[in-house]
Structure formats: structure tokens, C-alpha cells
Amino acid sequence: MANDMSNEIAATAEVPDKRHGLTRGYGGPLRYIQGPCVLDDIGSYAADLSTTALVLMDGFVEDTYGERITGALETAGVSVTALRFGGESTDAEVDRCTEAARAAGAGLVIGVGGGKTLDTGKLTARNAGARIMTVPTIASTDSPTSAIGVIYTEEGVYVRVEQSPRNPDVVLVDSEVILKAPVRFLAAGMGDALSTWYEARSNFDSQSKNYVAGGYAPSVAGAQIARACHETLMRDGLAAYDAARAGCLTQAVENIIEANTLLSGLGFENCGVSAAHGVHDALTVLEPTHDFMHGEKVAFGIVCLLVLENRPPEDLEEAVRFCHDIGLPITLADLGLSAVSDADLLKVGEAAMDPASVIHSVPVPLTARKVADAIRAADMIAKRITGR
């Protein structure tokens, strides 16, 4: 497989690019630390970056871990300004947090919580000229490692992606904290991570640029990480899901936390995403999908991607059965869309065809109708595979 991978990347790297020519790019966080109880070490990592920190936490995190976090920071000599996240990563929320960071003279912004909290923290640090630390409390997305932040409306509708000039300085992942969260979050993270290799492959085939500093040809390293993410999910995903349901921190759980957070994050940023995320973004125009997590919608988007690209039946079988076994949505009914009309699916298709959508990284011509038809077909294929 390594030789095949090298050939794929070499072919991609030969595509002329007006800005970068044949230049490859690779990006990632400066430090990634994962393990039980590493949250208690937050002060030592923060103190190496700044003596003043804005700590952005969602409400549950602040109530549950706030004193533990601020205490560890202050013990390490870091002055703390705590700020409660507003709940949605909107332009207004980023502006509010940026003002707070500037007012506090924060040299470091620490985002603690889920993906939207971390995205807001990253963009706040960018705007305030501060260093950035991400501390995920769930392993549901690959946001913690990337330089990218997603902006939504107050209602949760996708707006756009914004990029920071740097990845987080430190990503601190306490696996015991992750394990305490409902297992649905870990499963959603596997849905997001499962898209990494499938979407990387789309970008190789379409010869698209990655997301490092505006776009370079992908590196062999990035491609191998994306592939390793997939292999880890296939090997340890079900065992980790079962162990997490039992509240047990096993090696499989640690491996999946890393796959969901680090491998997936490096894979998507260094290779790119495509229709699984493009369908996810477009589905947000339908209100019922707002009750579902990012990785849950991406899981269904994977099936749609494989249909759009007409991938082999074994790829569809693998993706559908894996998602089904860990409770991820694979049909329209699973997303609260059992009665969705063809007209509404066409609206999704039209949203997906926005010129800025990542869906255009797929190596086949697309129209709004093709996207809508792929969504309907994906639903039927998943039903057949699972015998519904």
C-alpha cells in the first residue's frame, strides 16, 4: 500500500500551481499530549506559552472542570480570565471573545470543550495575536489540532471556514475526561474520522490542494496519516465503542481518541475534505438535522460521497456496516428526515453547489440534482445493506 500511496501523492504533486508550483506543505500542532489525568498538567504547558490566559469554556465544562483548570493554571503562575462560551461559533461570538482577550491582555487563549468552543478559541487567538491551546473534553471532532475554525449562524447553519496562520501550540487531551462523556460523542468522532481517508482519496484523484497556509500539494506524510486513521478505526473502533460503553479506558479507547483527534485532524488538514463534509454542510439548511452532531451528519455524508464517486460495493459495505455498528446515522430517517421531499433534497443539493463548498474536491462533475439523487440513493443502499 505504501508504494501505491507514494504514486498517488507524486501524481498529485505534479499538478501546476500558480502560487506554489510543485511545493508540498505539511502542518500540525506544535505539541500533542494525550493520556489519563493530563488535565492536571495544563499549567506547566500554558506557562511555557504565556503568563496571562483567557480560558474559554462552555457552561458544562466550566461547572465541571473550571476550578480544577483555573487552579492548575494559577499554581503554575498563569493569570486567568475565565469566559463562558456562548454556545455557537458565530461571528458575533468570536468578536465578543476577541474583545475579552484583548481587554485581559491575554498572551494565550485556551479553548476547553467541544469543537465549536475550540474553533471560537482558535479564531479569538488569531484576532488577539495570542498563542493557542486546545483542550477537548469530547472526542467528537478533529477540530482540536487544526488551524481552521468554522463559522455558523445563531441557528446552527453553516456559513464558512476561516483559517488561522498557525495550528494550536498545544493540544491537551485527557482521556479520562473523554471517557466520562456520553459514548455518543466518541461514536460521532469516529464518523468524522472515518471520512478522513475517503475524502483524502477524493482530493488525490481530483488533484486538489490541501488546507495548509492557503493550499499546497499534499505530502506523503499527510497521506499516510490519513490512511493510518482509517486502519486504526477498522482495527479498534468497535472494541473502543464497547469498552467506552462499559466505562473502561482500554488501549483501543486511547487509540480511537488519537484517531478521532490527531490522525483525523492531521489527515483532513494535510489532504483535504470533500463531499462527506460538503453534504454535511448543505444538510444544515434542513432544520431537523440541527439536533445531530457534526460527525453524525458526516457519517451519512460518507455514504453519499461513495455514491457520488461510484466507489466499489465493498467500500460502501465497509462504511455502512461500521457506522451502523456504532450507532451512526446512515439513512435519512436516522437524521430525522424520513419524510423529506425531493424538493427539500434539491435545496440541499443547491446549497452543496455553492462555489466555496468543499464538495467540489470530488473527481466527478456535479450538479445540484446529482447531489440530491446521491443522497436519496445513499439512503436506499444503506437500507439494503443493513436489511431495514
What gap in Å lies between CA 342 and CA 32, rounded to an integer? 45
* Close Cβ partners of 220 (under 8 Å, ≥ 6 residues apart): 5, 6, 9
Residue of 294, 324, 334, 373 marked active site: 294
How does strand 52-57 pair with strand 108-113? parallel
* Close Cβ partners of 210 (under 8 Å, ≥ 6 residues apart): 25, 203, 216, 217, 218, 222, 269, 270, 271, 272
Does residue 202 have a known ligand-binding role? Answer: no
Tell the residue number behind the cell numbers 503554575, with chain if given. 76
Active site residue 360: no
Does residue 20 have a known ligand-binding role? Answer: no
What gap in Å lies between CA 348 and CA 342, rounded to an integer? 10
Active site residue 344: no
Does residue 158 have a known ligand-binding role? Answer: no
Does residue 119 have a known ligand-binding role? Answer: yes
Residue of 169, 174, 192, 236 marked active site: 192
Does residue 117 have a known ligand-binding role? Answer: yes
The residues pairing with 150 across neighbouring beta strands, listed in sequence order, are 161
112, 114, 111: which is closest to 98 by C-alpha?
A: 111
Cell numbers placing 375: 443522497
Does residue 263 have a known ligand-binding role? Answer: no
Active site residue 290: no
Does residue 58 have a known ligand-binding role? Answer: yes
Does residue 138 have a known ligand-binding role? Answer: yes
Residue of 169, 174, 230, 280 marked active site: 280
Residue of 174, 230, 236, 277 marked active site: 277
Does residue 216 have a known ligand-binding role? Answer: no
Does residue 32 have a known ligand-binding role? Answer: no
* Close Cβ partners of 196 (under 8 Å, ≥ 6 residues apart): 142, 226, 229, 230, 263, 264, 267, 268, 271
Does residue 17 have a known ligand-binding role? Answer: no
Does residue 116 have a known ligand-binding role? Answer: yes
Does residue 26 have a known ligand-binding role? Answer: no
Does residue 331 have a known ligand-binding role? Answer: no
Q: Is 25 helix (H, G, I), strand (E, B) or coil?
A: coil
Question: ∠86-114-103 over CA atoms, to 5°?
Answer: 45
112, 128, 122: which is closest to 52 by C-alpha?
A: 128
Residue numbers belonging to the annotated binding site for NAD(+): 58, 115-119, 137-140, 146, 152
Residue numbers belonging to the annotated binding site: 58, 115-119, 137-140, 142, 146, 152, 192, 277, 294
Q: Which residues are catalytic?
A: 192, 277, 280, 294
Residue numbers belonging to the annotated binding site for glycerol: 142, 192, 277, 294
